[in-house]
Structure 1
Amino acid sequence: MTIMSGNAVGMISSGLPVITVAIALLISFWLGEQFAGLIPALTGNAFLGGVYGTTMATMGMLSTAGIVLTMDGLGPIVDNAGGIAEMSGAPEIIRERIEPLDALGNTTKALTKGYAMGSAALASLLLFQAFVLEVARYQAKIIDLTTITSAQATLLGTKLSSLGTSLALNHPDVVIGALIGAMLPFVFSGTAINAVSIGAYRMVEEVRRQLREIPGLREGTAKPNYAAAVDISTRTALRLMVVPGAIPVVAPLVVGVFLGWAAVGALVVGATISAIPLAIMMMWGGAAMDNAKKYVEMGHFGGKNTETHAATVVGDTVGDPWKDTAGPSLHILIKLLNTISLVFIPLFLAAIIIL
């Protein structure tokens, strides 16, 4: 029931943030279109005005990064304070006072991770628009946009208009690219969570080994080998992140080489659309499951050492990889997909298009 409820909370929680981001995009783009004539550099182009408006909205959202980083730092500080209190054998009343702060830290971390995902969504739209503009620039053979002539500007506008038909959904390469892009956040999240699972298993094996081999450890008269546990977690984290790290690099290159730039553009859009609600679901659902355990440990529903507490521990085991590993890393995925796609445009324009 804990996992089911956590899933439900995460899924429902994705609704309002996604709608908020969509409204922010709509209003910023519309305002940019309406006031494009006030900025001489835009030469009255409504589309470029919309892009400019979205840019300003993104900058405005990022301007609050200071308070967001402060909120994000609260969680680890309180969490470490709780760990120090437990390891030092502090009185129970100190731990009881830290628990509510730990729950607050989980909540603020979930909110700041949602902020990161929202800013990534706005940034990915700008990067996609830059991707389309760069494709048009390469096709028009314009080397430097800062020294563009009026004739080149007209040609660039014509190329931009014609690119819209290449990205239409009636092209199979675009549909294939969008499907692959929508799949990537799920595969990426799955490999990241699997890495956590493998690391946890190795850690459990190390704990069992130390309990078996270190005399007096079970009785509490000897200290465990902390360095070995830290070494296992560090090595596992570094080695098992190779596959998730390769996904956003390899996927656009393979799709671009065989299906062309339009499929890569669709891949980026598909990945962004599926990553935003998935990330919010995992971050907020995971935080809900973690806080459910803390709520029971504060004495509610029977408190510790009950079946209810055991159920919330299972939920917390599922929620931690969601909120701390897979969810927050998805905004890096979509940013990296956009960046790789933008850098390798010349390769995609010379692609072996099989459709």
Structure 2
Amino acid sequence: EYYTSHDFKPVREVAKSSETGAATNIIFGLALGYHSATGSILILAVSIFLPFTLAGMYGVAVAAIGMLSTLVVGLTIDAYGPVADNAGGIAEMTGMGEKIRDRTDVLDSAGNTTAAIGKGFAIGSAILTSLALFSAFLTRADLLDPEANIMESINLLDPLVLTGLFVGAMLPFLFSAMTMKSVGKAAFDMIEEVRRQFRTIPGIMDGKAEPDYEKCVEISTTAALREMIPPGILIMGTPLLVGFLFGVPAVAGILAGSLVSGGVLAISSANSGGAWDNAKKYIEKGNFGGKGTETHKAAVVGDTVGDPFKDTSGPSLNILIKLSAILSLVFVPFFINYGGLLTG
């Protein structure tokens, strides 16, 4: 909340940075996201260290279940944001008046903050869950191949483990690049369709003709399904390919690397996006010149950049770190019996 609500200093700094243009707005927003990951990761580190000290990996698993037990509250918080956002959109499109729009803006701003809090819980539980699955992966591999003594042989100086760590740390960035580019492609197609309708359907600007809404919905839904195929293949294919070619140690490195870098990137992306959105709303409340000014235009650019951060790449990284661990755990017997084709 501290990093995403305009009641606090960080978001107001992002709003003020818009006075000098969109570039500084984006720079301040990115810096805010990176900074926000510090406290969250330190809290997660303590949440991992204390349970592990008291009860080993069983304690970490129980801690993960404890965070997941707040699922009902988390879903409620996450659902509130889109409801408030859509209410504001409906008020804007139907011309319900400035007074109604001011009220929905307050709700929307609160919704962005609660959504960021909900994403924080989701990311934290995903990290703890993935860590427990990682431990289960190593334990199962050790039981299936006692002679290899895998739990003891996983060494950071092992070339396979170290290589896996680097590849795993790279995966969240590649995954985020793919999802962000997908948003850009869908937006490009949507803009082209809107321009086409303005050119070919007379009377839209005057309100005398209805736009073809169905075509726009079709473009967005088709793009959403089509563009998630490559990231899905990346998530599922990487641990399987590495396991069969290089064996269990390399997969362990990939899981550890993606867990660490994915968690940090998810937190920073979610908080940067939320901060950009609420910085724009803070300006729209009349601060730093209000709506229609160059400051507001710069904040709108930041908000547009922030949408794929907080709504696409950030939340989807939870899937990457959990699904990779689950797939690796399921395919451990195959890695033991048929893996390591290139390493013997």
Q: Same fold (TM over 0.5)?
A: yes
Equivalent residue for 1:352? 340
SS at match of 2:145: helix
Could you tell me how far apart the structure 2 residues matched to 1:169 and 1:24 are?
23
Please give the per-residue CA displacement for 1:143-189, whole angstroms capped at 9, x wherever unaligned.
Answer: xxxxxxxxxxxxxxxx69x3244310121111111111000000000
1: CA distance, partners of 2:266 / 2:108: 22
Amino acid at match of 2:205: R
Give the structure 2 partner of residue 211 of structure 1.
198
Matching residue within 238, 243, 246 for 2:233: 246
How is 1:235-274 mapped onto 2 (pairs within 5 angstroms)? 235-274=222-261
- Structure 1 equivalent of residue 130 of structure 2: 124
Letter in 2 for 1:192: T
Map of 1:39-78 to 2, 5 A cutoff? 50-78=56-84
Distance in 2 (alpha carbons) for counterparts of 1:318 and 1:91: 28
1:62-87 deviation per Cα after TM superposition (whole angstroms, max 9, x unaligned) = 11222222111110110111111112
Letter in 1 for 2:74: V
Aligned identity (percent) is 48
- Higher gyration radius (CA): 1
Q: Which residue of 1 aligns with 2:315?
A: 328
CA contact 2:113–2:274 (8 Å) conserved in 1: yes
- CA drift of 1:346 comes to 2.0
Deviates more, 1:216-225 or 1:199-208: 216-225
**Aligned mate of 1:93, from 87, 95, 99:** 99
Count residues in correspondence. Answer: 319
The runs of at least 4 consecutive aligned structure 1 residues that moved more than 6 Å come to none
Matched, 1:11 2:34: yes
Query: What residue number does 2:89 align with?
Result: 83
The AA in structure 1 aligned to 2:109 is: A
Q: What letter is aligned with 1:68? A: G
**Equivalent-residue separation in structure 2 for 1:77 and 1:175 (angstroms):** 45
- AA aligned opposite 1:292: A
Q: Which amino acid aligns with 2:29?
A: G
Report the 3-state secondary structure (helix = DSSP H, G, I; strand = E; otherwise coil) of the residue aligned with 2:95: coil
User: How many angstroms apart in 2 are the aligned matches of 1:248 and 1:344?
Assistant: 14
Question: Structure 2 regions of 5+ residues with no counterpart?
Answer: 1-23
SS in 1 for 2:342: coil
| Map 1:291-330 → 2, pairs under 5 A | 291-330=278-317
TM-score with structure 2 setting the length: 0.90
Distance across 1 between alignment mates of 2:142 and 2:155: 16
Report the 3-state secondary structure (helix = DSSP H, G, I; strand = E; otherwise coil) of the residue aligned with 1:14. Answer: helix
Corresponding residue of 1:337: 324
* Cα distance in structure 2, aligned partners of 1:252 and 1:54: 23
Counterpart code for 2:339: A
AA partner of residue 213 (structure 1)? T
Mapped to 2, the partners of 1:163 and 1:241 lie a distance apart of 35
In structure 1, C-alpha distance between the alignment counterparts of 2:256 and 2:341, rounded to whole Å: 20
Q: What TM-score comes out, normalization by structure 1 length?
A: 0.88
Task: Give yes or no for the alignment of 1:25 onto 2:48.
Answer: yes
User: How far, CA to CA, are the matches of 1:110 and 1:53 in structure 2?
Assistant: 27
Partners in 2 of 1:248 and 1:346 — Cα distance?
A: 19
- For residues 51 and 290 of structure 2, the distance between their equivalents in structure 1, rounded to whole angstroms, comes to 49
Looking at structure 2, the residues matched to 205 and 24 of structure 1 have their Cα atoms a distance apart, in angstroms, of 48
Matched, 1:228 2:215: yes
Deviations 1:227-268 (A, max 9, x none): 111000000111011001111111011111111111001100
The answer on whether the counterparts of 2:169 and 2:254 sit within 8 Å (CA) in structure 1 is: yes
Q: Distance in 2 between matches of 1:59 and 1:115?
A: 12
290-299 vs 115-124, which moves further = 290-299
Write the distance in 2 (CA, Å) between the matches of 1:62 and 1:68. 9
Is 1:288 aligned to 2:294, yes or no? Answer: no
- Give the C-alpha shift of residue 353 in structure 1: 4.3
